[in-house]
Chains A and B, each alone.
Chain A
Amino acid sequence: GTIHLFRKPQRSFFGKLLREFRLVAADRRSWKILLFGVINLICTGFLLMWCSSTNSIALTAYTYLTIFDLFSLMTCLISYWVTMRKPSPVYSFGFERLEVLAVFASTVLAQLGALFILKESAERFLEQPEIHTGRLLVGTFVALSFNLFTMLSIRNKPFFYVSSANGYSFCLFFLSLCGIIPGLSSIFLPRMNPFVLIDLAGAFALCITYMLIEINNYFAVDTASAIAIALMTFGTMYPMSVYSGKVLLQTTPPHVIGQLDKLIREVSTLDGVLEVRNEHFWTLGFGSLAGSVHVRIRRDANEQMVLAHVTNRLYTLVSTLTVQIFKDDWIRPALLSGPVAANVLNFSDHHVIPMPLLKGADDLNPVTSTPAKPSSPPPEFSFNTPGKNVNPVILLNTQTRPYGFGLNHGHTPYSNILNQGLGVPGIGATQGLRTGFTNIPSRYGTNNRIGQPRP
């Protein structure tokens, strides 16, 4: 009985795994990765055997790099899988983050392996065992050629992204610092793959080890080069794990903070907006930003209008956005229930509500922000286009249909324009247009100060 209970979830888990695996394996590209993975496993097995036969810890450290290659292959597979999977109700943001998690896990594992190597070599400094050089060089070259082959033939998107986002590679810095080859930094500076670099450096260290042991029987150099490889591993992996870890921690990426600040300032200068607060922006996977923000508006401002404008501004940067419009004291005028007060409160609503009823009168209505141009293509989805009188029925049916999707689609050209060409002039234009704001600089200043001490 117990065995059955214990086994049942396991089998379903494996079944699920098999199904997902089949999904991935349907892709041609993943075949190559799988092939490399199998070769990697064989290779690693041989290398581990040779490690124990040579008793060399430097080779062990190098073998861990091969194991790391296996992880990076797995990450690559996962990133293929992620592109195929749709968000499920449980994982509502989709599986993009799995990629980040895989990168994080593999870099952390590599660092833990390096830590283990450091510990082992600290023990070996006390008592240096004898190293047999028989398979040392063979192992080195097998591992090196395999690593290089893997790294150069498979385009590993997530790792490429992380390593290029980091901007600097420790290895490069290390080498140029040592000045081993003075011209090296100028040759390789255009973003050399740090993994290739670390593989080459490790192989170099192993070759030196081999030579010194062969010539002088100087066994301590094995430990020293193991420490060197471990430190290089740390230096290469640490920035990457910090980067992906920050994504996992739901932090605002530092390189978009400037842009975000600009957008938020723009939002806070919108008409009717009093305050922007509780802003949370974070990266979903590598690249796409998600966020939520609370906007406090004046009591008499039109909520839907402000919402549309805020969303429109922020959509250029934040793809998954939620904006909560917030009014102070919204209940007070309603409690007065005077006809005038109610009128003031619903002023905008009164103008919006009849709008669908006015056939094609959108451009006549100045309250709408958007005069529907006859030349512009009709929006893919909006409330009044499909059939003005059967609105509610359609809406009830479309509950599962993502409104945002169509909106996004129709939205992209505009955002592109704003992103590329109009970054600076756009601000100037809007500022110039708003002649009502005569005191722009001071407004800027106050906003700045308000925006600064964000808890």
Chain B
Amino acid sequence: MVLFQKPFSSGKTITKHQWIKIFKHAVAGCIISLLWFFGLTLCGPLRTLLLFEHSDIVVISLLSVLFTSSGGGPAKTRGAAFFIIAVICLLLFDNDDLMAKMAEHPEGHHDSALTHMLYTAIAFLGVADHKSKVESWFSLIMPFATVIFFVMILDFYVDSICSVKMEVSKCARYGSFPIFISALLFGNFWTHPITDQLRAMNKAAHQESTEHVLSGGVVVSAIFFILSANILSSPSKRGQKGTLIGYSPEGTPLYNFMGDAFQHSSQSIPRFIKESLKQILEESDSRQIFYFLCLNLLFTFVELFYGVLTNSLGLISDGFHMLFDCSALVMGLFAALMSRWKATRIFSYGYGRIEILSGFINGLFLIVIAFFVFMESVARLIDPPELDTHMLTPVSVGGLIVNLIGICAFSHAHSHAHGASQGSCHSSDHSHSHHMHGHSDHGHGHSHGSAGGGMNANMRGVFLHVLADTLGSIGVIVSTILIEQFGWFIADPLCSLFIAILIFLSVVPLIKDACQVLLLRLPPEYEKELHIALEKIQKIEGLISYRDPHFWRHSASIVAGTIHIQVTSDVLEQRIVQQVTGILKDAGVNNLTIQVEKEAYFQHMSGLSTGFHDVLAMTKQMESMKYCKDGTYIM
């Protein structure tokens, strides 16, 4: 290799100053190499590689994060945290020494639970641990030589290509991937039985080194090392995510940096969690949902844990079902959180409409649930299965209690927030009692609910979800009682059929309302007032007519409207705007755009649409007009 590259004959001559530098570098390199060998003898190639093969940039940024307070933002801190976790993983969870012990007595006693866990992990990885035997030198040297040869040459060339072609930080970033992954692969290969066989072909003596086998801890730490190297070596400047908006007169491109790109570039996870928690707890809606979600999750995990402990499948599947339900709550929580975000370029009216969309999705969710319950109960109606009921009652009673708490909380919030939505709560109580007594004219109660029509579709959706869960628990209790008392196994599917229909009917008004808002309907509760307002507008002095009156509810707090108004030429536009705005504001529209048109507008428009050359002429004329407005030109 040395002959091939001719390092001494080619290249520039080296000055004395550079010789000193080279010497210093050589000393440092020697120390590092010594450390390498030390590491190699102590803990094998894989771990040494993991610990030492970091490029300078990674190390420098790591040190800067650790020892100077201003490392470079939360992303770097995260990277350093990953690095430290990786080292700890390697130190604590790796079983390099323990392996040797275990090799001596494979089924011997284990010191701690940790060792036990690691042992099972190793067994899971399928790494065989045979006893090592004394072997001759020659058989060891052969594979070692080949491996070293390949690794060294490969490493040298790949490294040189990388450093030539790419910049340093990129090199550090992507270099860590192949190094660690290949190290892992080699490590696996080295300890794998196949290597054994290869060596056995070489020489008959069966030997295996159990010293430095792969373990779960090493894999985890390698993954963490890769992550940290990736984060630490990523360039610290913000991503240049802008949109090209045009070219300046000099020809240089102009970029528009979006606010969103800045916001989401890097944000510390703990800080994000803290801030969103604070936001959640600020407002009553999201606070209610959050507390209930916590309660629900707690119940779910208790159920799951107990189910695992007692090995009861029913409990575990019920726990999964609860998790499934929690997803709706999580969505409601997110919607309640997002709806308070500030308006951006893209969301020009603000995020309030998300609540309506979330309510709609929640409604669809409930419909899906109702559909599945319906299908299941129809299938069971045809073929009612035997089921043991002794486990059902405590679980369903627990669920019922949790959900009843939720209903109380949400209905409380409901009536506080909007007096109008009182009806929907009443209707739910209605349907409850009806359900309990087995009556079937629940439709009456629901028509009340839709009339009440609360503004906040999100909360309504969550409330209905909790209600559906409650109905489910009640159904389970009722059917359990019926089965235990009378042995009617058909009661279970009948109950669930009934519940499915109830859920469906209770969701319909929510979906209908949300659809109307999403389709930009004239808000029904303002219909009359707006009609009167338009009549009033008609009577304004100087007004000829109006066209394209659009009024729609954007979100719970915003009712938007646009209208075009034609006036006679002799009135002041701004006065008309003021009057119309006053009238429509009284009618409840709070985001208003009024276009006042006179005859001149239509003349201009008809002229403007004749063609491009006329536009040019017009522009010239506009200039001349500007000129005349300055007062120098008088017609």
Chain A residues in the interface with B (C-beta under 8 A): 2-3, 6, 48, 52, 89-93, 95, 97-98, 101, 105, 108-109, 112-113, 115-116, 119, 122-123, 126-127, 245-246, 248-252, 254, 257-258, 261-262, 271-272, 278-282, 292-294, 300, 302-305, 307-309, 311-312, 320, 322-327, 330-331, 334, 347, 349, 351-353, 355-356, 362, 366-373, 376, 379, 381-384, 391-392, 395-396, 398-399, 402-404, 407, 410-411, 413-415, 417-418, 422, 426-427, 429-431, 433-436, 440-441, 444, 448, 452-455
A123 and B379 within 8 A (CB): no
A444 and B569 within 8 A (CB): no
Chain B: CB-nearest residue to A421 = B612
Question: Which chain A residues lie closer than 8 Å to B357 at the CB level?
Answer: 245, 248-249
Chain B: CB-nearest residue to A89 = B522
B603 lies within 8 A of chain A by Cβ: yes
Chain B residues in the interface with A (C-beta under 8 A): 243-246, 248-250, 254, 256-257, 259, 313, 316-317, 320-321, 323-324, 327, 342-349, 353-354, 357, 360-361, 364-365, 367-368, 372, 375, 379, 441, 443-444, 447, 515, 518-522, 527, 544-552, 554, 560, 562-564, 566, 568-570, 572-574, 577, 592-612, 614-626, 628-629, 635
A379 and B609 within 8 A (CB): yes
Question: Which chain B residues lie closer than 8 Å to A349 at the CB level?
Answer: 569-570
A312 to B566, CA, bound (A): 18
Among candidates A92, A108, A381, A417, residue contacting B611 with C-beta atoms closer than 8 Å: A417
A428 to nearest B CB, angstroms? 9
B620 to nearest A CB, angstroms? 6
B518 and A422 within 8 A (CB): no
Question: Which chain A residues lie closer than 8 Å to B250 at the CB level?
Answer: 441
**Given known A92-B549, A407-B606, contact A448–B348 (CB-CB < 8 A):** no
A257 and B345 within 8 A (CB): yes
A122 to B319, CA, bound (A): 11
Question: Which chain A residues lie closer than 8 Å to B552 at the CB level?
Answer: 92-93
Chain B: CB-nearest residue to A112 = B368
B442 to nearest A CB, angstroms? 10
Among candidates A119, A248, A257, A351, residue contacting B346 with C-beta atoms closer than 8 Å: A257
B626 and A436 within 8 A (CB): yes
A372 and B245 within 8 A (CB): no
Among candidates B549, B569, B577, residue contacting A352 with C-beta atoms closer than 8 Å: B569
Among candidates A122, A261, A379, residue contacting B606 with C-beta atoms closer than 8 Å: A379
B540 to nearest A CB, angstroms? 14
A395 to B565, CA, bound (A): 12
A370 and B597 within 8 A (CB): no
A433 and B620 within 8 A (CB): yes
A126 to B319, CA, bound (A): 13
- Ordered by A's residue number, 30 sampled pairs between the chains whose C-beta atoms are within 8 Å are A92-B550, A93-B552, A115-B324, A116-B368, A119-B321, A245-B357, A251-B348, A257-B345, A279-B348, A304-B598, A307-B597, A330-B572, A349-B570, A352-B569, A352-B600, A356-B599, A372-B607, A373-B614, A376-B611, A379-B605, A402-B547, A403-B597, A410-B609, A414-B615, A417-B612, A422-B612, A433-B623, A434-B619, A448-B256, A455-B344
A108 and B364 within 8 A (CB): yes
Chain B: CB-nearest residue to A351 = B635
B547 and A369 within 8 A (CB): no
B601 and A308 within 8 A (CB): yes
A373 to nearest B CB, angstroms? 6
Among candidates B353, B549, B612, residue contacting A249 with C-beta atoms closer than 8 Å: B353
A399 to B573, CA, bound (A): 19
B545 and A399 within 8 A (CB): yes
10 additional A-B pairs beyond A105-B360, A115-B327, A309-B608, beta carbons within 8 Å, are A2-B441, A109-B367, A278-B593, A305-B600, A325-B573, A366-B624, A367-B628, A370-B618, A376-B610, A395-B566
Chain A: CB-nearest residue to B594 = A324
B599 and A282 within 8 A (CB): no
B501 to nearest A CB, angstroms? 15
Question: Which chain B residues lie closer than 8 Å to A413 at the CB level?
Answer: 609, 611
Question: Which chain A residues lie closer than 8 Å to B316 at the CB level?
Answer: 123, 126
Question: Which chain A residues lie closer than 8 Å to B606 at the CB level?
Answer: 370, 379, 381-382, 407, 410
Among candidates A248, A272, A280, residue contacting B348 with C-beta atoms closer than 8 Å: A280
A130 to B361, CA, bound (A): 34
A91 and B521 within 8 A (CB): yes
Question: Which chain B residues lie closer than 8 Å to A435 at the CB level?
Answer: 623
Among candidates B345, B367, B564, B604, residue contacting A309 with C-beta atoms closer than 8 Å: B604
Among candidates A248, A304, A395, A399, residue contacting B518 with C-beta atoms closer than 8 Å: A248
Question: Which chain A residues lie closer than 8 Å to B317 at the CB level?
Answer: 123, 126
Contact count A vs B, C-beta below 8 Å: 315
Question: Which chain A residues lie closer than 8 Å to B313 at the CB level?
Answer: 126-127
A454 to B59, CA, bound (A): 41
A252 to B594, CA, bound (A): 21
B635 and A370 within 8 A (CB): no
Question: Which chain A residues lie closer than 8 Å to B327 at the CB level?
Answer: 115
A294 to B573, CA, bound (A): 14
Among candidates A262, A312, A362, residue contacting B609 with C-beta atoms closer than 8 Å: A312
Question: Which chain B residues lie closer than 8 Å to A108 at the CB level?
Answer: 361, 364
B379 and A52 within 8 A (CB): yes
A330 and B245 within 8 A (CB): no
B515 and A101 within 8 A (CB): yes
**Given known A261-B256, A351-B635, contact A369–B244 (CB-CB < 8 A):** no
A92 and B520 within 8 A (CB): yes
Interface core residue of A370, A376, A441 (most chain B CB under 10 Å) = A370
A91 to B603, CA, bound (A): 31
A146 to nearest B CB, angstroms? 20
Interface core residue of B348, B515, B527, B546 (most chain A CB under 10 Å) = B348
B604 and A411 within 8 A (CB): no
A245 to nearest B CB, angstroms? 6
Interface core residue of B375, B554, B573, B592 (most chain A CB under 10 Å) = B573
A402 and B320 within 8 A (CB): no
B579 to nearest A CB, angstroms? 13
Chain A: CB-nearest residue to B316 = A126
Chain A: CB-nearest residue to B244 = A258
Interface core residue of A109, A307, A452 (most chain B CB under 10 Å) = A307
A426 to B342, CA, bound (A): 36
B604 and A453 within 8 A (CB): no
A121 to nearest B CB, angstroms? 10
A423 to B519, CA, bound (A): 34
B547 and A105 within 8 A (CB): no
A317 to nearest B CB, angstroms? 15
A371 and B617 within 8 A (CB): yes
**Given known A261-B245, A391-B599, contact A430–B619 (CB-CB < 8 A):** yes
A123 to B250, CA, bound (A): 65
B609 and A307 within 8 A (CB): no
Chain B: CB-nearest residue to A385 = B606
B248 and A95 within 8 A (CB): no
A95 to B515, CA, bound (A): 12
A163 to B347, CA, bound (A): 22
A308 and B605 within 8 A (CB): yes
A95 to B519, CA, bound (A): 7
Question: Which chain A residues lie closer than 8 Å to B568 at the CB level?
Answer: 392
B545 and A395 within 8 A (CB): yes
B307 to nearest A CB, angstroms? 9
Interface core residue of B347, B605, B623, B635 (most chain A CB under 10 Å) = B605
Question: Which chain A residues lie closer than 8 Å to B628 at the CB level?
Answer: 366-367
The 8 A-B pairs at the shortest CB distance, nearest first, are namely A370-B607, A379-B606, A308-B604, A383-B599, A292-B593, A322-B562, A399-B545, A304-B600
A155 to B573, CA, bound (A): 49
A90 and B569 within 8 A (CB): no
A91 and B520 within 8 A (CB): yes
**Given known A91-B522, A353-B570, A371-B617, contact A402–B602 (CB-CB < 8 A):** no
A307 and B595 within 8 A (CB): yes
**Given known A101-B515, A370-B604, A411-B609, contact A455–B569 (CB-CB < 8 A):** no
B225 to nearest A CB, angstroms? 24
A245 to B361, CA, bound (A): 10
A328 to nearest B CB, angstroms? 10
A304 and B564 within 8 A (CB): no
